[in-house]
Amino acid sequence: MSLKHKDDLIADLEELPDLEDVYAYIIDKAKDSAGLTDEQKQEKYRITGCMSQLWLYPELKDGLIYFAVDSDAMIPKGIAQILADVYSEMTPDEVLGLAPEFLQEYGIDQHLSMNRRNGLAHICKQIKLYALVYKSTLK
């Protein structure tokens, strides 16, 4: 199902004519995000390397990983929500096998500041680390 989310994301991005529309899309993703409870906003789920406060909460259910996100800033939250949508509902092996190049294909990373690109890299790295941990627990 998450590959469908990726395909839906790509279809959405292809329809956006310019950078302002891309940012509006990212902000809409942030606004639509359910966020996290205060209980889920623990330090161990905070993404280090981001200038803003950003949390990535993983959960393994029936062999599939689900991600939820929250942030005190809209752009990081929207980008994190896009990644959470794409990588949720996948097995650990599927998460590990899906590289985030689709973000580069549509220039999302090119239009981010260096700090936000670093944050994006940290989110992707943490998603992969959670997948590795969950993969080891399923053996």
Backbone phi, then psi, for 61, in 5-degree steps? -135, 125
> Which one of 1.10.10.10, 3.90.1010.10, 3.40.605.10, 2.30.110.10 gives the CATH number of domain 2-137?
3.90.1010.10
Mean pLDDT over each residue of the chain, to the nearest integer: 88
- Choose from 8-12, 18-22, 46-50 the range with maximum mean pLDDT: 46-50
User: Do 136 and 96 meet the contact criterion of CB atoms below 8 Å apart?
Assistant: no
3-state secondary structure 72-137: CCHHHHHHHHHHHHHHCCECHHHHHHCCCHHHHHCCCHHHCCHHHHHHHHHHHHHHHHHHHHHHHH
| Tokens at 97, concatenated | 């096998």
pLDDT class for 4, splitting at 50, 70, 90? low
Q: Angle, nearest 10°, between helix axes 19-32 and 74-87? A: 70
CA distance 71 to 69: 7
pTM: 0.89
